[in-house]
Amino acid sequence: MKKLPVIIDCDPGHDDAIALIAALASEKLEVLGVTAAAGNQTVDKTEKNARKVLEICARTDIPVAKGRGKPLWNPLSVAPEIHGDSGMDGPVLPEPSMPVCREPAAALMARLVEESPEPVALIVTGPCTNTAVFLLSYPHLWKKIAKISVMGGGAFEGNRTALAEFNIWTDPEAARIVLESGIPVEIYGLDVTHKALIYREEFALFREREGMVFQFLADLLDFFGGTYLEARKFPGAPMHDSCAVIGLTNPELFTYVETDMSVETESPRSRGALTMDLRPAAGKKPSVCGKIALDVDREKFLQVLLGACETITRQRREKGYAS
Ligand code: BDR
Ligand code: CA
């Protein structure tokens, strides 16, 4: 099977880590590189967390590059109340030993896209800062971007403010550049990611399985589920970021609506809100830039994540790593 080449622009981040695992395990995707954004924590921390995840997955061959230290315009405002001081609190992991790329994130993206014989999909699971810098700096490469899959926003709800979701709220200008680029986009916002929930009583499905990857997932879920219970009274852990990956590998699990989308950057009360037109005839407008997922088959989604851990566990064994 021909694999879709992807670059993952992320801010790990518990759910980013799970998204990376889902992407690395998929036989439909080839992960060319990982770029780290400032978001859940500072970029020094998210970049280090990305390398830790690649090391657990025995994929130290994949380059990791560090992006900008702050959003295009906003000051950086990190989220320790959800992801802890390290950005990925919970699992106890050694310091990563694989090197970080010398190129900055946007330059790595450009090189990987240029070198790829096939168009590349970008998966963005943090603020869109690096992706926007890449798009603005390398306009001649837009034609080689197949699509951009983004975890961000929400049609009907926000989490950082009443109207704005964290990733888009962190860097609204960057998200707007992505959405108005004309490159096809897929949006996985809070409407669907809050439905992609792993309930607390299901965490045992990971904990009871042998192997480092299952235990890592269980540790992530314990911490992330804990902060979501405390901060937001959630009955489990929302798998925000893996929606943007599994939407590419298993679109049949999602229900989508086509629409034009952008981001509000002017009004102080709604800055960072994802804007769209969900009226029935709106999908026919020439300004339609992509689709937004509004529903997901939660049980099948959970099975995909369990299968991903199984695959990485097997790959680790095949490479001679301890289970
Ligand atoms: C998004 O914000 C971060 O906390 C998560 O990693 C996810 O990307 C959810 O609003
Ligand atoms: Ca994220």
**Digit-coded pLDDT (tens) for 122-162:** 999 999 999 999 999 999 999 999 999 999 999 999 999 99
* Per-residue buried b or exposed e for 41-55, using 16+ beta carbons within 10 Å of the residue's own CB: bbbebbbbbbbbbbb
Stated pTM of the model: 0.98
* Joined tokens for residue 111: 């090189």
User: How many helices (H) does the chain have, and how many strands (E)?
Assistant: 12, 12
Q: Are 20 and 10 in contact (CB under 8 A)?
A: yes
Q: What region, left, alpha or beta, does residue 284 occupy, with left being phi > 0 and alpha being psi -120 to 50 degrees?
A: alpha
Integer Cα distance of 70 and 39 in angstroms: 8
What residue ranges in 72-200 does DSSP mark as E strands?
120-124, 145-151, 185-188, 197-199
Query: For residue 98, how many other CB atoms are within 10 A of its CB?
Result: 14
Using an 8 Å Cβ cutoff, are 176 and 135 in contact? no
Strand partners, 98: none
Dump pLDDT digits (tens) for 306-316.
999 999 999 99
pLDDT score at 284: 67
Distance from Cα 18 to the centre of ligand 2, integer Å: 10
Low-confidence ranges of the chain (pLDDT < 50): none
Residues in the ligand 1 pocket, defined by CB under 6 Å: 13, 15-16, 40, 79, 82, 125-126, 151, 159, 165-167, 240-241
DSSP state of 253: G
pLDDT of residue 323: 82
CA 35–ligand 2 middle distance (angstroms):
12
So what's the pLDDT on residue 281?
73
Spell out which residues have Cβ within 5 A of ligand 2, the ion: 11, 13, 16, 125-126, 241
pLDDT at 279: 85
Cα–Cα distance list, 15 to 8, 223, 237 (Å): 13, 11, 9
Ligand nearest the Cα of residue 240 is: 1
By DSSP bridging, strand 4-10 and strand 197-199 are unpaired
Q: Which of 9, 18, 21, 40 to mutate to test the pocket of ligand 1 (most atoms within 8 A of CB)?
A: 40
Catalytic, 14? Answer no
Q: Determine the Cα–Cα distance for residues 176 and 255; give it in Å rounded to an integer.
A: 24
